[in-house]
Structures are given as structure tokens and as C-alpha cells.
Amino acid sequence: MRKLILNLVIIGFFTLMTPLSTKAQLFETNELYPNTNAIKGKYYNGTGGGGYWSLDYVDSIGRIISKESYHKKQLMSRRKIVYDENNNKTFDIQTFDNNNPERVDTFRYEYKYLDNRIIYQFRKLSENDSTVTELIENQGDTLLKYRERAFYYRPKTKTTDVYETHYILRYRGNYLISKEEFDKDKNSTEINKYEYYDNGRLKRRLIERIPKPEQKSFYVGGPGSDDESYEYKLDSQGRILKYYKIINGKKSKIAVYRYE
């Protein structure tokens, strides 16, 4: 397995504020939802069509601590999330999977911080599989370079494959404007460029691939493109009520959310 892929029908509630935050958990966003007990999402372009929805539970300081996904009335998966004092995940536990009800998957995270920034992240994926991500260069907090090594054990050969990826993140103020990802094994680079609305929500994401692939990228589970724009309807607290994706001039409703 080149990279661990969680092929979930519903990932649960997602936001589009900053696509990659290095002051929070690496390569993820952790938005807080104060004065919120639960978030219900309904999805219109997920894998398999309609009927998919999610229910996320929020703790007293606004962190999502439990995520459930459904297809109609059928529970598809359930996850529990535990955080440290910096609101970064220490455990991400899938306690139920409809495709494998007896299995429990636990991801464990460890961090090292410097000036409230993660400079080292260890992620335990399974008994013998893990990833290690380290900050290797910081140019004034406007350009950050990370190295990630992924370790995957092969039971048949009793060997461990090691894959290495390098990231270059460029910031303008508090906004990530580009993420460059170099896959050392494939000798290929993917560059994500980002544009934002005045309120900080992501407005556009553009992907450039080097070398340019012979075949156009194929997206599954709904409308997708290397060039996507986004629109939102927000409530008075700035939370997303409706989320739209725009590709080649066509606007599609992706999800709606309700807060309790």
C-alpha cells in the first residue's frame, strides 16, 4: 500500500477554512464549534448517490469527539476522537465499520512542539505500520519544509517498505497559498494553490502535476477537478449551512448542515 487510504462513504463534517494548517495537527484542519452540541450533515454527491448523512458530536469546548455516518437509516461507521491540550488528535478510533463489524482500527498520534508549532508528528497506523513527519526548514514562518517517511511492513517477505515525501508550504500572513508535495519514490510533484474569501473560507483550489500525467485525473464519489471553486451559505456564527462546488462553470450542491 503506497499510502493508507480510508475509503469511507461519509467522512462526516468537513470544513474549508485553511486546507493545511501546520500550527494545528499536520495536514488537517481542526476547527472549533462553540455553543454547538451536534452537527448533522446531508450529502448530495457522495459515492453511491443520495441518502448519505452524518452526525458529529461536539464537546464543551467545541471539538468534534465522535463521528457517525449513515446511509438512510443504516449506520455505516462510527469514530471516536481524543485530543491533547493543543486540540490535536492523540487517538482516532474507528469503533464500528459496517463492512467489518468486528474490527476496531486505532490511529495513535504523538507530537513535538516548538513555539506552539508541530515540528514532529508520529502516527501509528497498525502494529507494524506508521508515518513520521518532521519539520526540516522554517524560513520566517512563511515557507516551511517537511519530510514524511511512511513505513509499511510486508508479512510475506518480512520486510518493511519505506516511502519518502517532501512538502513545501508557502504562507501569506495566516493563509496557506501553496503546498508542494514531492513523491521521492515516483519522482513526481503535485502543487496545490489556494485562494480565499475575505472571511477565510477556501474559494479556489488549483492542482498542477509535474510531470504532467498522460491521462486526465479521475475523481470518484462526486464532482471533482484539478481546478475547483467553492461557495457557501453561512449562519450568523460563520458556520457552513450549505456547501457548493463549481467546476467548469457548473455549480453543484455538495452538502447541507444543521447545528444543535
At 5 the pLDDT is 29
Grid cell locating 124:
501509528
Strands 143-154 and 130-139, by their bridges, are antiparallel
pLDDT digits (tens, 9 = 90+) for 55-86: 999 999 999 999 999 999 999 999 999 999 98
- 89, 25 Cβ separation under 8 angstroms: yes
At 205 the pLDDT is 96
Average pLDDT, the chain: 88
Weakest mean pLDDT among 1-5, 16-20, 66-70? 1-5
Q: pLDDT band for position 30 (50/70/90)?
A: confident
Q: What is the pTM of this model?
A: 0.85
66 HSE (CA, 13 A, CB side): 10
Cα 192 to Cα 72, 162, 242, 244, 245, distances in angstroms:
35, 24, 24, 20, 17
pLDDT of 222 > 70? The answer is yes
- 229, 204 Cβ separation under 8 angstroms: yes
Q: pLDDT band for position 157 (50/70/90)?
A: very high
